[in-house]
Structure 1
Amino acid sequence: MLLHRIQQHFIDSADLKYQCAQAMAPAVEAAVGAVLAALTGGGKVLACGSGMSAGLVQAFVASFVGRFERDRPELGAFALGSNAAALTGLYNAFDARSVFGRQVRALGQPGDVLLLVTTQPQSPDILGAVEAAHEREMVVVALCGAKPGPLHQLLKDTDVLVSVPSERLPRIHEAHQLALHCLCDGVDVQLLGEDTDPEMDT
């Protein structure tokens, strides 16, 4: 019984990723374009997410500032949820909509990109971040699940929505991680060219 359940998780994850290859790839390609335009224009990526999504965001930033699969110059990226003192202080002093929003207003500049990773697109902290990014004339790249809800309503035509065709949280997180890997790889390919035998990070 347990063995079958474990096997089913692998099967379900693989099935969803197969769907995502068709459903999400064009949006991920657009996200690569938005991020690359910011970086080559002297901008940076401000990234945020809550809960497990915050961990995905921090891993993404580590790949940008450090490396993904190949050595290259560092790329400008910052995870807004990585400073515990700032985060808890903002939650204590302001409403939830201001937690990421104030950080975006403080650090964001026109031409930067706000990267959102969320399974709860109705969260006030996420919506506040989008509003602040638009005030700073930033492009928003938003990764979410099958029902973007109010987040979708806030996005502009110049923003990018990457929506996973699933409502199961573990599957959404897995697809988000793969999409972020594709984003890192896509930027590297555009900056460095194709690499048929990438050096793996050990």
Structure 2
Amino acid sequence: MTEELYPFLSARRSEVDTLAQVAESTREKIRDAIALRERVFDADSARLADCAEAMAERFARGGRLLAFGNGGSSTDAQDLASLFVSATHPLPAIGLTNDIAVITALSNDVGFDVVFSRQIATFGRTGDIAVGLSTSGSSANLGPAFAEARRRGLLTIGFAGGDGGAMAASRDIDHLFVVPSSSVHRIQETQTTLYHVLWELTLELL
């Protein structure tokens, strides 16, 4: 099985052949990552600018950013929040996966599908910003979170992969950025680039 997945690790291959295959595999991944980013930014550059303008308006009026996601997307949500908090001129941002006691309490006592919507209901105010990230676009706890954010008058922003999943069909997301790939790795890499650009644009507008 290992040889089928990683043929360049086979003991029957010379060290030179192995290194050459690893190098070519790396170059191929880099080419794929660059091409995907170019495709996404060609399609979404104008919408990124519009989204950044909407975010800047909210921040200028005292709004806060609430970011959320599951698994690797939870670390991206925390990274996004930390970018705004640690900027030269800090802006209020919270990662909704930061408080493990809240996450586990809601998961255990109510259900995992409400871990973000309950927090948005508690902390979210009209004029705030809700940003949800998912590689599939169909995370069960993101839909209720966006719906709650919409009810409370938050600006809603989503990052998804593939065909956008359930997020693409949602009417509760103001700005949705979809990375058209089936690779979780390429999706998360491109989403990271997207939200870093969004962060920089927002700061420039402020």
Report the secondary structure of 1:43's partner residue. coil
Counterpart among 163, 169, 173 of residue 184 in structure 2: 169
Q: RCO (CA 8 Å, sep 6+): is it higher in 1 or 2?
A: 1
Instruction: In structure 1, give the amino acid aligned to 2:91.
Output: L
Any stretches of 5+ residues in structure 1 without a counterpart?
192-202
1:129 aligns with 145
For 1:55 and 1:190, the matched residues in 2 are separated by: 26
Q: Runs ≥4 in structure 1, deviation > 3 angstroms?
A: none
Identity %: 25
2:7 aligns with none
- 1:26 counterpart = 2:46: yes
Q: Spell out, residue by residue over 1:74-112, the C-alpha distance to the aligned partner (whole angstroms, 9 max, x if none).
A: 101100011111111111111222111100000001111
Deviation at 1:25, TM superposition (A): 1.5
Number of corresponding residues: 186
Cα 1:141/1:187, change in 2 over 3 Å: same
Q: Spell out, residue by residue over 1:140-188, the C-alpha distance to the aligned partner (whole angstroms, 9 max, x if none).
A: 10011131232222234x7111111222111110111101110111011
Q: TM-score, normalised by structure 1?
A: 0.87
Q: Please say which structure displays the higher CA radius of gyration.
A: 2
Are the counterparts in 1 of residues 129 and 154 from structure 2 also a CA contact under 8 Å?
yes
Counterpart among 66, 75, 91 of residue 55 in structure 1: 75
Any stretches of 5+ residues in structure 2 without a counterpart?
1-20
For 1:33 and 1:167, the matched residues in 2 are separated by: 30
Instruction: In structure 1, give the amino acid aligned to 2:105.
Output: G
Counterpart among 156, 169, 186 of residue 201 in structure 2: 186
How much is the aligned-residue C-alpha RMSD, in angstroms? 1.4
Q: Spell out, residue by residue over 1:37-94, the C-alpha distance to the aligned partner (whole angstroms, 9 max, x if none).
A: 2101111111101111111111111110112xxx22x101100011111111111111
1:199 aligns with none
